[in-house]
Amino acid sequence: MQFGGCSRVTILTLATLVGIFLLGGAANAQPYHVIYDFGQVCPGGWDPIAVLAAAKNGDLYGVTEGGGACNGSTIYKLTAPRTRGGAWTQAVLYEYTANTEFPVSLVIGEDGALYGTGEGPNTRGFIFRLAPPARGKGSWKYDVLYTMNSNSDGSAPQGNLVFDANGNIYGATELGGGPNGGTVFELKRPTKKGGKWRFSVLYTFTGKPDGAQPSAGVVFDQTGNLYGTTFRGGTDDWGAVYRLSPPAKKGQGWTETLLYSFSQSKDGIISPEGPVLFDKSGNLYGTTPSGGDLNCAGGYGCGVVFELSPPDKKGGAWNYATLYAFQGGNDGIIPYGYMVFDQAGNLYGVTELGGVAGVGTVYRMSPPHENGGVWTETVLHGFTGNNGDGAYPDRGLAWGKWHDLYGVTQDGGLCFHCGIAYEVGP
């Protein structure tokens, strides 16, 4: 099997590390497991990044920045055990050669193929597909669907790709696009088998007041609008939440609407670095890595979880509310990346720093029992970076097998800088 010019298959088994813990005064202990340690054999990859992609059967797919057999980045699979507490097995599906391109995100398409974005020294970014072998045997087939070679395309794609009902792909870039404020793009699926994917820029950010430097991917609402955040731009240059609406008539462009502009002077909330997500009522939720309580983190704030609710009247302003401002202790610092909801309306996410050892947390935000009440934060796990535990969780969480939460840390594990994959109960 060929992996980026290296003939190698890496399949590793790691006995599950099981721990039950109490953190931050939580009333109920949460089960936490290290399901894979990337320090076992570095040719299997190390430094995992991005949100794990969970298949319907519970298998997980992800990417690493390095550590393959040829010292390149990898795309890997973690095969779920049949029973809870069993051993997960890891296999490298594709490996990039050293000092070339590397993947930065991964999702599973309806066709069962893996789709993602990447960067490299010789490109502004690219979109790839890794298709499974026919009948489950043989090599996975890797193809680059589009390479961003011009500034107008955008540069440095951010966050996960999303699909519309026709299988077309949408995403955002942090930079490029004329004024270097980033872009939102579409990659249309070929109309015929073996045809060419067609790339187009839907919107180019200019900075003020529309936003600049999209900080994550985009999400769809039920009517086909796209939503996202920018790290900079907006009315005060502290970032924004935006909506892109598809053309009303053929030949027209997509329309951008600024839903909320962050302001340090107005509310102490600045520069979101993660995507937004919807609840069942159409409210938007997200995080900022700084802001909130400005007595925290040397005056910059330790970050917040926020909510944006639709306008009370058509054409009015969206309503902003801070659900929780991190305090910089065991509760965590710098929330970012992908949050997820459960069916009861609880939110789950990660902080990059803070917690019992200062190297990150997994947290739950529970809604109030009555309207106007206070949301409650509970730390489900505080990473330690010691005794095989991880450190510095990356990009957020995904639901997986047994309705548990799964994620990766860039550091920690046996060699500390190799990272782990973990499972935590809600």
pLDDT tens digit sequence for 32-74: 999 999 987 656 788 999 999 999 999 999 999 987 766 779 9
Q: pTM of the full predicted structure?
A: 0.91
Provide the β-strand partners of residue 79: 89
**pLDDT tens-place string over residues 304-359:** 999 999 999 988 999 999 999 999 999 999 999 999 999 999 999 999 999 999 99
How far apart are alpha carbons 318 and 166 in whole angstroms?
Answer: 30
Let me know if 357 is exposed, middle or buried by CB neighbors in 10 A (0-12, 13-18, 19+).
Answer: middle
List, for residues 226-239, the tens digit of each pLDDT value: 999 999 999 999 99
Which of 3-12, 115-124, 221-230, 373-382 is predicted with the least confidence, judged by mean pLDDT? Answer: 3-12
Q: What integer pLDDT is reported at residue 3 of this predicted model?
A: 32
Q: Is 248 helix (H, G, I), strand (E, B) or coil?
A: coil
> How much is the mean pLDDT over the chain?
89
CA distance 426 to 322: 23
The closest of 346, 382, 376 to 22, measured between CA atoms, is: 382
Percent of the chain scored above 90 by pLDDT?
Answer: 75
Q: Using alpha carbons, select from 67, 75, 71, 70 the residue that is nearest to residue 50.
A: 75
pLDDT given at position 26? 36
